[in-house]
Structure 1
Amino acid sequence: MGFLVFYDIIRDNLEDLETELKKTYRVKRNQDFQAIFGQGKSVANRKFVVYSLEKTQGHFRVGLSVSKKLGNAVVRNRIKRKLRHVLMEFSPFLTTHDFVVIARRGVEELNYHEVKQNLKHVLSLAGLYQD
């Protein structure tokens, strides 16, 4: 009987967690990427480049770019999953900009906490992350 109650509590908590960035929070169209690259400002550190463009939609939107130079599809997808997870964690602190995060060489060797630290640094430099 105790196990079923425990299971219900865990299931309810898992349903409350967001497991992915919703489509409304993603930059998908090439036209949007080109506008951000063309009209936005860029900031970089050793591991990431961030292009940002101020928008009025009321929430941020993010696009991710990971070059084939960083590895095969498995490696690139692992990098993107880490980035999306960190961005979900940062979502309450992000400003209402559209931005694109470009991963640089060396990111594939970073663990989750190093990715989080480097991404927080570059987003803060860009003025997109506010505590």
Structure 2
Amino acid sequence: MRKSYRIKKESEFQRVFETHNSVANHKFVVYQMEKPGQKHFRVGISVGKKIGNAVHRNWVKRRIRQTLLEVKPQLRSDVDFLVIARSAADGLSMAETKKNLVHVLNRAHLLDEKSED
């Protein structure tokens, strides 16, 4: 995913957190903030130290990024959102990661209706 699709600065993370607009399941939490007029969505990914060592955390982040890349056409463009992996996300297969992340994105109304599989 290109850099223009990422939220990297701590101040931007905090701005999204402060909206207190979140949806969660057992594996992931998604915070979102509406940004009308934005050309495309932006996403921040956070995997805490409760999830294994650096290798495991990077592995989880890669799976989240890959899932977002696969559902990118269905994602709304007028929103910034954060995906936070809970400790239960460690060790998920790619299929389980995608299933759980798509579930929480649907609950947050971040996916268009055409993504209902």
Q: TM > 0.5 between the two?
A: yes
User: Counterparts of 1:44-123 in structure 2 under 5 Å?
Assistant: 44-55=24-35, 56-96=37-77, 97-123=79-105
**Whole-Å separation in 1 of the counterparts to 2:88 and 2:20:** 25
RMSD (Å) for aligned C-alpha atoms: 0.8
Q: Report the identity percentage.
A: 51
Q: Partner of 2:12 in structure 1?
A: 32
Q: Deviations over 1:32-81 (max 9, x none)?
A: 10010002510000100000001131210000000011110000000000
Q: Which runs of 5+ in 2 are unaligned?
A: none
Alpha-carbon offset, residue 82 of structure 1? 0.4
Q: For 2:59, give the aligned amino acid.
A: R
Q: Number of aligned pairs?
A: 111
> Secondary structure of the residue that 1:109 maps to in structure 2?
coil
TM-score, normalised to structure 1's length? 0.82
**Whole-Å separation in 1 of the counterparts to 2:53 and 2:9:** 24
In terms of Rg, which structure is larger? Answer: 1
Structure with larger RCO (C-alpha < 8 A, sep 6+): 2
Q: For 1:106, give the aligned amino acid.
A: A
Q: Which runs of 5+ in 1 are unaligned?
A: 1-20
Q: For 1:102, give the aligned amino acid.
A: I
Alpha-carbon offset, residue 113 of structure 1? 0.3
**Whole-Å separation in 1 of the counterparts to 2:91 and 2:57:** 11
Q: For 1:116, give the aligned amino acid.
A: K
> Of Structure 1 and Structure 2, which has the larger fraction of its residues in helix?
1
TM-score, normalised to structure 2's length? 0.92
Q: Deviations over 1:69-125 (max 9, x none)?
A: 111000000000000011011110001210000001121121000000000000000
Q: Partner of 2:109 in structure 1?
A: 127
**Whole-Å separation in 2 of the counterparts to 1:109 and 1:30:** 27
